[in-house]
């Protein structure tokens, strides 16, 4: 394949196509599930009917006119790129962000890659003795993220496509209220799945304390960690001391603050609190204490901060 020509046809930088070619090499890909099996799989992955309909409309059938040679190449090599790092737990972009207004094949290319990797990663889970209920709860984050992306008017997926490679490689597990990412520490993530009550957090942490030594006995973890705007001490200026967020913060010892590279905390707060990046501040909803805090803080010309913290397992 010609890297320059492929990049031009995809409308993406040449270096991003070169990265996929280099990392995927001639490593094996994985087949997509049969079209007939896809609706049941999408349902199991908590994909909403409107998103499932789009995915099925763009399905990469061999004779589909939606799938140009360069799109088929990118899908195949993106699957191979992610599969080659099975068991990895670092951030891994599966490929370049595509112009998503060109139709469902372009919009959902990395969804098809995720679907192709479901059998690969569930086999990895089985090899580690992980129960199917954990596998499917973890992998169903696909549907949650697609729904968020739709709410965000398609502004959310460029981040989410890299995030979901953690699930597809066995690097992250949803255990109750929290998601737990393997690494030097067990990294905590907070999905949109209900109140962050201390009881729900405690139950999830207890599950993780049993889960990782059982299924990954060669890995030694001594700390839970989290990097998030949720740990910004400025939130305590606005939230009650007994709020779930403040009680979550109290668990952590914060690292000395450093401006994080590549993370704009103001954008992250808007992404998670409002699922919106483009509405003017004065038009955002103010229905909750947190929403009012975010808007008032930014309207005053102040900025949110993304903090890291940890606590012993």
The structural architecture, per CATH, of the domain 174-313 is 3-Layer(aba) Sandwich (3.40)
Residue-wise pLDDT tens digits, 125-150: 999 999 999 999 999 999 999 999 98
Q: Give me the sheet containing 186-189, strands edge to edge.
A: 172-175, 178-181, 186-189, 223-228, 307-312, 253-254
Taking CA atoms, 25 is separated from 17, 73, 78, 182, 243, in Å, by 12, 12, 10, 26, 50
Q: Which residues contact 81 (CB under 8 A, 6 or more apart)?
A: 20, 23, 24, 27, 92, 94, 95
Partners of 175 in the beta sheet?
Answer: 178
Taking CA atoms, 287 is separated from 195, 220, 295, in Å, by 16, 43, 11
Nearest to 139 by CA among 158, 116, 106, 155: 116
Q: Report CA Rg, the chain.
A: 20
- Consecutive H or E run containing 228: strand 223-228
Structure tokens at 214: 């059982």
Taking CA atoms, 56 is separated from 14, 114, 136, 259, in Å, by 30, 14, 21, 42
Answer yes or no: are the C-beta atoms of 158 and 88 closer than 8 Å. no
pLDDT at 283: 96
Residue-wise pLDDT tens digits, 26-41: 999 999 999 999 999 9
pLDDT at 103: 93
Residue-wise pLDDT tens digits, 67-79: 999 999 999 999 9
Structure pTM?
Answer: 0.94
Please, what's the b/e burial string for 265-280 (b: 16 or more CB within 10 A of its CB; e: otherwise)? bbebbbbbbbbbeeee
CATH 3.40.630.120 in the chain, residue ranges: 174-313
All residue ranges of the chain with pLDDT < 70 are 156-158
Please, what's the b/e burial string for 115-149 (b: 16 or more CB within 10 A of its CB; e: otherwise)? bbbbebbbebbeeeebeeebbbbbbbbbbbbbbbb
């Amino acid at each position: 394949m010609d890297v320059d020509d492929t990049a031009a046809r995809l409308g993406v930088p040449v270096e991003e196509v070169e990265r996929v070619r280099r990392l995927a090499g001639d490593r094996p890909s994985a087949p997509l599930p049969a079209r007939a099996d896809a609706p049941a799989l999408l349902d199991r992955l908590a994909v909403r009917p409107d998103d499932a309909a789009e995915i099925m409309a763009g399905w990469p059938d061999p004779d589909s006119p939606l799938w140009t040679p360069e799109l088929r190449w990118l899908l195949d090599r993106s699957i191979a790129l992610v599969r080659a790092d099975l068991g990895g737990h670092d951030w891994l972009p599966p490929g370049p962000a595509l112009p998503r207004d060109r139709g469902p094949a372009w919009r959902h290319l990395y969804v098809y890659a995720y679907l192709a990797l479901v059998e690969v990663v569930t086999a990895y889970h089985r090899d580690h003795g992980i129960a199917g209920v954990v596998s499917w709860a973890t992998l169903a984050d696909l549907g949650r993220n697609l729904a968020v992306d739709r709410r965000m008017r398609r502004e959310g997926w460029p981040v989410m496509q890299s995030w979901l490679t953690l699930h597809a490689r066995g690097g992250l597990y949803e255990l109750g209220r929290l998601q737990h990412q393997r690494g030097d520490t067990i990294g905590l993530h907070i999905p949109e799945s209900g109140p962050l009550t201390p009881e729900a957090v405690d139950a999830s942490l207890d599950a993780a304390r049993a889960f990782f030594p059982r299924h990954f006995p060669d890995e030694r973890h001594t700390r839970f960690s989290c990097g998030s705007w949720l740990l910004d001490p400025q939130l305590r200026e606005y939230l009650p001391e007994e709020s779930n967020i403040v009680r979550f913060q109290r668990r952590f010892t914060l690292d000395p603050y450093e401006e994080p590279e590549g993370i704009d905390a103001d954008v992250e707060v808007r992404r998670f609190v409002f699922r919106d990046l483009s509405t003017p501040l004065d038009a955002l909803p103010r229905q909750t204490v947190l929403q009012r805090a975010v808007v008032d803080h930014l309207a005053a010309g102040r900025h949110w901060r993304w903090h890291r913290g940890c606590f012993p397992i």
